[in-house]
Amino acid sequence: MPSIDASALTGIGLYQRWLSPHKGFRCAHAAFYGGESCSAAIARTVREHGLGAGAPAIAARFAACRQAYGHLSDQLTGGARVRGVCCCGPLPIPFRCG
């Protein structure tokens, strides 16, 4: 396995172990569609195809997750406009103050 793939898998593992459990929610794709999280799906893609060859599949997964986020956001806000966005990860999290 090339070192870039091993580094990517190490980074994903660190994210899954130390960050993901503390953020309080699953990725939007897993929450909306069910199944594996984006980090698990991307780790699988890197293991099976490598980071370079898997890049189109990884980009497609992030696009699908962003679309799922839009669906969830509409469900949570009733389509109402939000007043702010917290960018604490790869997906923006809408919030309303007041």
- Cβ-Cβ contacts under 8 Å for 93 (sequence gap 6 or more): 85, 86, 87
What is residue 5's predicted lDDT score, i.e. its pLDDT?
97
What is residue 22's predicted lDDT score, i.e. its pLDDT?
84
User: Cβ(72)–Cβ(92) under 8 Å?
Assistant: no
pTM of the model: 0.74
User: Cβ(50)–Cβ(3) under 8 Å?
Assistant: no
What is residue 98's predicted lDDT score, i.e. its pLDDT?
43
Section 18-45 average pLDDT = 90
Question: What are the tens digits of pLDDT across the range 39-49?
Answer: 999 999 999 99
Tokens encoding 98 = 């007041």
More confident residue, 85 or 38: 38
Name the CA radius of gyration of the chain, rounded.
Answer: 15
